[in-house]
Amino acid sequence: MSAAGSSRTADELDPRPVLRHETVHTGRVFDLVRDDVDLGAAGTVTREYLDHPGAVAVVALDDADRVLLLRQYRHPVRAFLWEVPAGLLDVPGEDAQTAAARELAEEADRTAARWDVLVDFATTPGASNEALRVFLARGLASVPEDERHVRSGEEADMVERWVPLDEAVALVLDGSLHNPSAVVGILAAAASRAGGWASLRPVGAPWPYRRAAAG
């Protein structure tokens, strides 16, 4: 059933035919591509966007309901942002939760005993096909010092801070936090907690938008 005829409000994958596809620029992480898209009665349009491998992020919540935030420099916005651990899905075929666990260990020196899917979103659907899945990680423990990842680049000087979840929500709403994974993840965690965590999904829950982004 089409979106117009459906009684359920939900996004719907329904690709329009691509008449021509070309890579405008090949980048280190993502490419700039151009598609001629057949919209049927609306005609053919040309759209340029970033072809992105997708990413995962982790809302790590400790036993005191504090969320782990990391301060990292982001050059495109010329700012130090407080973020949740996150990383690219740049290993072909890698399981998303495996990637999330790796990022938590590498960026925050933590492991988690329990993993759930918290929320999925498209970061910039008008300009990129990046799909991002945010996991909730609980039952946290430290990675042994002799097994810790050696961080470099912008990650070398990251600062960590544990913030009560309610305080983190307030920081989002008053405009103090801007990283999209942190904003979406924090608000989703607060909403899910208010509902007794009933909205959480298993780590293997369907994620069709990742396939779309990879294709």
Positions annotated as catalytic residues are 155
Query: What is the spatial distance between Cα 79 and Cα 57, in angstroms, rounded to a whole number?
Result: 19
181 Cβ contact list (under 8 Å, min separation 6): 55, 57, 83, 84, 86, 132, 134
Handedness of CA 13, 201, 58, 106 (dihedral sign): negative
- Judge contact between 143 and 163, C-beta under 8 A: no
Question: Which helix (H) or strand (E) is 166 found in, with range?
Answer: helix 165-173
96 CB neighbour count, 10 Å cutoff: 22
Question: Which helix (H) or strand (E) is 137 found in, with range?
Answer: strand 131-142
Residue 71's DSSP bridge partners are 82, 159
- Sheet of 31-38: strands edge to edge? 18-25, 31-38, 44-51
